């Protein structure tokens, strides 16, 4: 199955794709100690809720203009649908690295991080 960003086909560098993941962290908050019971726990545990799904992958495109369009998407915060073999996610590009031209004359490699647009 092809990987796409909106309607644009992108190619993934081998062994760099990991499906989207999110986390639900738990935080321990310190409280003032109880002067009448100094051995009692002085903290409470609070769940922060679900964070947005994120995904980082190394990719390449065969035309530099596609990279420029993806860079423009990152700058403007454009929301598109990312589709992979086991995930579809409405996302924005939160980071994109400079494109590097590889040994192939039509291969521009870069790394992107996608962040879920609507949690």
Helix H or strand E segment including 75:
helix 64-76
pLDDT in tens, 24-60: 677 788 888 878 887 877 888 877 777 788 888 899 9
Dihedral sign (CA 107, 108, 110, 114): negative
Given this model, what pLDDT does residue 21 score?
A: 65
pLDDT in tens, 75-106: 999 999 998 887 788 999 999 999 998 777 78
Give the contacts of 91 (CB within 8 A, at least 6 positions apart).
53, 55, 79, 80, 81, 82, 114, 115, 116, 117
* Annotated domain spans of the chain: 3-21+52-116
């Amino acid at each position: 199955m092809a990987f796409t960003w909106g309607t644009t086909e992108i190619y993934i560098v081998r062994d760099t794709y990991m499906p989207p993941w999110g986390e639900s962290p738990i935080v321990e908050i310190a409280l003032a100690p109880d002067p009448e019971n100094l051995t009692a726990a002085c903290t409470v545990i609070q769940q922060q809720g679900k964070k947005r799904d994120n995904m980082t992958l190394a990719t390449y495109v065969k035309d530099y203009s596609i990279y420029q369009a993806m860079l423009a998407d990152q700058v403007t915060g454009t929301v598109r649908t990312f589709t992979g073999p086991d995930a579809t996610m409405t996302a924005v590009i939160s980071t994109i690295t400079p494109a590097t031209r590889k040994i192939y004359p039509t291969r521009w490699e870069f790394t992107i991080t996608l962040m879920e647009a609507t949690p």
